[in-house]
Structure 1
Amino acid sequence: MTTKDNGSKTVANGKFDATAELLDGDNDVRSASKQTMGLPVDTGWSWVVLLASIIIATIHCGILRSSGLFFIEFILEFQADVSEAALVGALQNAVFAICALPVLMFGLKVFSERQLAFVGFSFASSGYAISSLAPNFKFLIFFLGVMVGAGMSMGFSPVFISVGKHFDKRRGLANGLMLSGACLGSLLMPPLIRFFLDEFGLRGALLMTAGIYANILPFILLLRPESFYRRKGACFHDHQIKNNGNNLKKEIAISLGEEKQEKSDILGEFVTKSETDIMKSSKPINRKRNNTVSEGTDLKMATRRKFLSNSSLVMSTSLSDVVWGSYSLAIAEKDTKRGALQTLKKMCDLSILKRLEYLCFLVYYSLACVPGSIGFVFIPAYAKDMNLTNSEIVLMLGVMAGADFVGRVSSGYLTDLPSFRMTHILLVTQIVIAVTANSARFLSTYWHFYIFAVVYGMFSGVPFSMQASLVSRIVGLEFFPTGFAIMMMLHQGVLSGSAPVLGYLRDVTGTYHATFHYLGICSCVAVLFLFLEPLSRKRDERKAKPLHT
C-alpha cells in the first residue's frame, strides 16, 4: 500500500513537472509577445518612419525657408514697413510657442503622433489657402500667422517625437537625416516659390503653396501609432497561448495513457488502475453481494471523481489563459483606481526645471537658433537691398541650403561617435556664426554673399540637428516630450520677440547691419551658456547623490 502511494506521488510529481515546464515555456512566449507589442527601434519600420519624416521636413521646412521671398512680396504688395512685414513671422512663432506646450504635454497623452500631425498640417495648408484671398495685410497676418502657426505646432512637433521613439543608438544620425530634409527643401522650394510668384503673383503663389503643403498628409499616415503594435502583439500573444494550451492538453493526455491513471482534479488527485477496475467490475468483490450505503457512496464518489477528472483536463488546457487573464484584470483594476488628479499631476510634471543643466540648455538653444531661424528671412531682403537680382538671390539660397545639408548630416554623424562631445561641436559652430553674422556689414558684391551663404548655411543649422539628442540626454526619455515642449515654447517665444526687433532695427537705421549684429550677439551669449554646461552638470550630480545614498 505504501509502495502504491509512493508511486502515485511520483507520477503526480512527474506530471506537475511537465505542466510547470509547459507553463514556463508559456511565460517565455509571453515575454516575447511583450517585445513584439513595442515600437521597432533602430530597425524595420523605424526607417520607413524616418523616410516619411525626411519628406515631411523637406516640404515643411522648405516652405519656411522660402518665407524670405514672401517677405519681400508682402512689402511690395501691401506697401508695408519691414517691421510690419516681420509681424507675420513673429505671430507665427508666438502661436507655435503657445500651442507647443499643450500639444506635447497633453495632446500626445490623448492622441497619437499621426492624428495630431494630420490635423496640424491640414490647418497649415488651409491657412495658406485662405491667405490667398486676403483683402488687406491684417487679414494676411491673422491667417498666415495664427492659423498656420497653430497648424505647424500640431503638425511638426509630433513628427520629432515619433522619430525620437523609433531610434535609440542611432538617434543622432536619424535626427540629422530628418533635419537634412530641411536643407533639401531649402534647395528645392525657393526656385519653385519664385516661379509661382513670377507666374501667378503673390496670391497664386500662396494658393499653390497650400497645395504643396497638402502633399504632406499621405506621408503622415506612415507614422504608425503605438496602438498598432499593441494590437499586433496581442494577436501574436493569443495565437501563442492557444497553441501552448493545445500542447499542454496533448502532454497531459499522453501522460494519462502511459501511466493508466485518471486525473481527479487540478491539484493532482489520481485514481489508480486497480481502483478503477474495482469500480468498473460487474462482479462483486465478495461472493455474496451486500447492497450497503457505503458501496453506493463509493460508486457515487467514483463517478464524481471521473467527472471532475474530465473537467480538470479542460481547465488545465486554459490554465495559462486564466493566470494571464487574472494578471491583466488585476493590472486593469489598478489602473482604473488612479484618480484624475494623480493623472493630471503626472501630465503636468515640471520637475525637470529644477535641473540647472537643462535650464542652461534652454537659454543656449533659444538664442543659438535665432540666427538659423530668422537669418534666412532677412538674408534675401539684405541681398535685394544690395542690388542682387531675383535669380541670383534664388541661387544664393540654393547654395546656402546645400551647405546646411552638409553641416546637419555631418554634425549628426559626429554626435554618434564617442570621441566627439555634442557641446564641443555646438561651441565651435556658435563661435563661427557669431563671427560671420557680425561680418555681414562688409558684404557688397555677389561673391561676398555666396561665401557668406556657404559659411552661414553650414553652421547655423547644427543646433537643430542635435536638439532631440541633447534633450533626451539631459532629461531622459521619460520626460522627453515635456522637455521638448518647453524647449520649443521658449525657442519660439524668443523668435516671436526677435522678429519685430530685427525689422525695427532695419526701419530705424536704414540698413540691415544692426539686424545681423543682433544675430551675432545672440550667438555670443549662447556661447557663454555653453561654457556653463559642465559646471551645471556637476552641480546637478552633487545634488542628486544624497538621493541615491
Structure 2
Amino acid sequence: MTPVDPSKVLPKDKGWSWVCLIGGFLMNVITAGGIFKTFGVIFSKVQAKYDVSAAMLSWIPATTLGIAFIMAPLSNALASRFSTRLVVITGSLLAMAGYVLSSLAQSSWVFFFTYGLCIGVGAGLLYTPTMVAVGQHFEKKRGLANGISLAGSGIGSIAIPPAMVYALNTYGLEGTLLIMGALALNICVSGMLFRPPSFYMRRFLLKIERRRRICTAMLHAGTKQTPGDANSDGIGDVAKGGCVNPIAMEDICLGESCPHNAQSSHKDSPQANVIGDGANGDMNDFTKVEWQPNYVVLDGCHPDKAHDKVDTTLEQRRSDAIITSYPTKQDTQTSGVFVVDVDRRSTDGFSPAADAKRTSCCSEDQPCTKPPLFQYRILTHPVLLIYCASIALAGNVYFDMFIMATPHAEQLGFSQTKAALLVSIMGGADMVSRVVFGIFADSKIIKTQHMFHGSLALSTVVLFLLPSLKTYPAVASALVLFAVAGGGYISLLPTLLAEALGIERLPTTYGVSTMTIGFTSLHTHCTCFAGKLRDITGTWIVSFYVCGAITATVTCLNLLVPLATRIGQRRLTATVT
C-alpha cells in the first residue's frame, strides 16, 4: 500500500506558506545575492595576501558555484528524508564554518578548500531544498512565490557588496570574512521557518482521532444528535444520512498518492457513507466519492465510480459501529462532499494498540515504506532533458553577461563608475522581472511555457543587437532587456517543471536541472571560451555573438517540447499497461 504522503497536508497559498516564503526570500538574499556574487569584492585582497595568479584564484568562486549546484539532487534527497529544516540549518552551519576557517587560512590551498569546497557544500544544502519547499507550499500562487523568493537575489546583490566594501576598509579581509560567516549563520533563522511535513501530518491525524472520540461518546449516550449540534470543536452540522459498510482510517488516500491504475468492482468494494448537504441527503446533490482497494478517494481520482446510497440509519448500526471521522462545517459548505468512516468493532472501549492502529497510515499486511530519495525514472523523460539542456546553456550565458557587461562598457570608453553601474541596473531589472513573471504565471493569461520560450527569444535578440550599440543609454537599455529576459526564464523554471512533470517530482526535476548548471559552470570556466575569444579578437563582440547563438539554439530546442510531451505520455502509458 502507498502510505499517505505527508506533503499533501501542507498548507497551500495561505497561513504558514507565506512564512516559508519569507524564509526562501531571506535565503536568496544571503546565498544567491551574497555568497554566489560577492567574491569579486574580495578578489584583489585575496590575490594580494596569497600572491597567486588571477586565473588560479578565479577557480575558487567557480568551484563554490559549481559544487552548490551539483549538490542539488543530493540536497533534495536529504531534505525529503530528514526535512528541509534540518538540511538548511546544516548548510548554514557549514557555510559559516567555511567563512571562519577562510579567515584563518595561511595558504592559498587551504583557502581554496575552506572557501571553495566548504562554503560550496554549505550553499548546496541551502539553495535547492529551500526553493523546492517554497514551491511545495504554493499551488495557485506558485509563480508569484518563486518570483518573490528569487527576487531576494537581486536585493542581496545590491545591498551586500557595498557593505562588504565598507567592511574591507574598516576591518580588513579577515574581519570581512568573519562578518560574512555571521551573515551566513543567520540562514538558520530561515531554516527554522520550514516546518516539516510530519508536523502537519500529526495535526491531521490528531484532528481525526479527536472527532472519532466525540462521535463515539455520542454513540454511547444513544443520541441521534450530530456532532456539530452539540460541541464547539469546529465540527460542522451534518444532515441526516445513512451509514454504510465500514472503512478504516488507515486506508485513506490523499490527492496524488491515489493509485490511479488500481481496478475495483463495485460489488467487491466497501462503500463510503456520504452525508447530505443539509436538505434531504439526496445523493444526486453530491460530488462523487470513489473507492479502490484499500483506499477512499476524495474529490476523485476516478470520477466514473460513484456509490449508491444505502438506506441504513446510524441508529440501526449503533451497536456494532463507531464513526471515526466527521467533516468540518467548512468542508460541507465548500466541497459538498465528505466521508464518514465507520469502524466495525465493539463500542465497549478502546485499547492503546487499537487507537494506534486507527491513526496509522498503513495496513498491517503492507507496512509503510519511506518515499524514494531520488526518482530515477523521470531522468529519461524527454521534457526534462530539454529543460535541463536549456537552463544549463542559457543559465550560464546569463551569468557570463554579468561578467562581460562591465569590461565591454569600459572598452566602449565609459568611465569605471558608469560601467560598474550597469551591473546594479541589471540586478534591479532582474529582481523586478522575477516578480512580474511570477504574477503572469499565476494569472494564466499567458502559458508559463510560452513565457519561458519568449524570454529565451528576447535574450537572443538582445545579444545579437548589443555589439552594434555604442551609446550609454542604448547599452544600458539592452542590458535591462537582457536582465528582464534572463530573470524570466530562470524564475519560471520551478513553476514550469511543476506544471510539466508534477509537483511531487519537483525535488528530483529541479535538483537535476540545477545540477546541470553546476557542471556547465565548471566546464565553461575550464574552457574560458568568452575570455579566450576576447584575448584573440581584442573585443567582447564575438563573445556576444557566440552567446546569442547559444540562446538561439536553446530557443529552437524548446520548440520540440510539445513533441517531447507526447513521447513522454506514450512511455508512461506503455509502462502502466
2:424 is equivalent to residue 398 of structure 1: yes
Separation of aligned partners in 1, 2:385 and 2:153: 27
Q: Which amino acid aligns with 2:373?
A: M
Q: 2:121 aligns with which of 147, 150, 158?
A: 150
Which moves more between the two structures, 380-389 or 402-411? 380-389
Alignment pair present for 1:169 and 2:140: yes
The structural deviation recorded for 1:78 is: 5.0
| Cα deviation, residue 385, structure 1 | 6.4
Q: How far off is 1:500 after superposition? A: 3.2
**Cα pair distance change 1:72/1:456, threshold 3 Å:** farther
How do 1:74-473 residues align onto structure 2 when only pairs under 5 Å count? 74=46, 80-105=52-77, 107-251=78-222, 316=347, 318=349, 325-328=356-359, 331=362, 333-334=364-365, 336=367, 346-380=372-406, 382=408, 391-392=417-418, 395-439=421-465, 441=467, 447=473, 450-473=476-499
Q: Is the 8 A contact 1:62 1:183 kept in 2?
A: yes
Distance (Å, rounded) in 1 between the aligned partners of 2:17 and 2:474? 42
Matched, 1:505 2:532: yes
1:148-170: per-residue Cα shift (whole Å, max 9, x none)? 11111111111111111111111
Q: Secondary structure at the match of 2:362?
A: helix
Q: Is the deviation greater in 377-386 or in 493-502?
A: 377-386
Deviations 1:110-158 (A, max 9, x none): 2100110111122112212322333343333222211111111111111
Q: Is the 2:392–2:513 Cα contact (8 Å) retained in structure 1?
A: yes
- The question of whether the paired residues in 2 share the 8 Å contact of 1:245 and 1:318 is answered with no
Q: Distance in 2 between matches of 1:437 and 1:76?
A: 35
TM score, norm. by length of structure 2: 0.70
Structure 1 519/131 Cα, relative in aligned 2: closer, same or farther at 3 Å?
farther
- Are the counterparts in 1 of residues 26 and 152 from structure 2 also a CA contact under 8 Å? yes
2:15 counterpart of 1:44:
yes
Q: Which moved more, 1:524-533 or 1:506-515?
A: 506-515
Q: In the comparison of the two structures, how many residue pairs are matched?
A: 457
Task: State whether residues 69 and 380 of structure 1, in contact with CA within 8 Å, keep that contact through their aligned partners in structure 2.
Answer: no
- Measured in 2, the distance between the counterparts of 1:422 and 1:330 equals 36
Secondary structure of 2:444 counterpart: coil
SS of match in other structure, 1:316: coil
Q: Secondary structure at the match of 1:474?
A: helix
The percentage of counterpart residues that share the same residue type is 23
Report the TM-score when normalising by structure 1. Answer: 0.73
- CA radius of gyration, larger in: 1
Query: What residue identity is the alignment partner of 2:82?
Result: F
2:564 corresponds, among 517, 521, 536, to 536
In the superposition, relative to structure 1, how do residues 205 and 439 fare at CA in structure 2: closer, same or farther (>3 Å)? farther
CA contact 2:205–2:359 (8 Å) conserved in 1: no
Q: Do the aligned partners of residues 35 and 475 (structure 1) sit closer, same or farther apart at CA in structure 2, a change above 3 Å counting?
A: closer
Aligned 8 A contact 1:374 1:495 in 2: no
Counterpart of 2:208 in 1: which secondary structure? helix
Using a 3 Å threshold, how does the CA distance of structure 1 residues 393 and 251 change in structure 2: closer, same or farther? farther
Please give the alpha-carbon distance, in whole angstroms, between the structure 1 residues aligned to 2:115 and 2:470: 33
8 Å CA contact 2:209, 2:359 repeated in 1: no
Higher helix fraction (1 or 2): 1
Q: Which has the higher contact order (CA 8 A, sep 6+)?
A: 1
How far 1:504 moved relative to its partner? Answer: 5.0
Q: Distance in 2 between matches of 1:391 and 1:247?
A: 77
**Alpha-carbon distance in 2 for matches of 1:321, 1:512:** 74
Alignment match, 2:508: 482
Q: Structure 1: which 5+ runs fail to align? A: 1-32, 255-264, 269-313
Does the Cα contact within 8 Å between 1:190 and 1:394 map onto a contact in 2? no
Contact kept, 8 Å, 2:6 with 2:197, in 1: the verdict is no
Q: Cα 1:474–1:92, aligned 2, differ >3 Å: closer, same or farther?
A: same
Which residue identity is paired with 1:423? Q
Residue 527 (structure 1) aligns with: 555
> Which residue is 2:31 aligned to?
60
Structure 2 equivalent of residue 285 of structure 1: none
- Distance in 1 (CA, whole Å) between partners of 2:118 and 2:447 is 39
Q: How far apart, CA to CA, are the structure 1 residues paired with 2:159 and 2:126?
A: 21
1:39 deviation in Å?
Answer: 1.0
Hey, what's the Cα distance between the residues in 2 that align with 1:76 and 1:517? 35
Q: Which secondary structure state, in structure 2, belongs to the residue aligned with residue 331 of structure 1?
A: coil
In the alignment, the residues of structure 1 paired with residue 396 and residue 85 of structure 2 have an alpha-carbon distance, to the nearest angstrom, of 29
The one-letter code of the counterpart of 1:128 is Y
CA RMSD of aligned residues (A): 3.6
TM-aligned CA distance change 1:81 to 1:117, over 3 Å: same
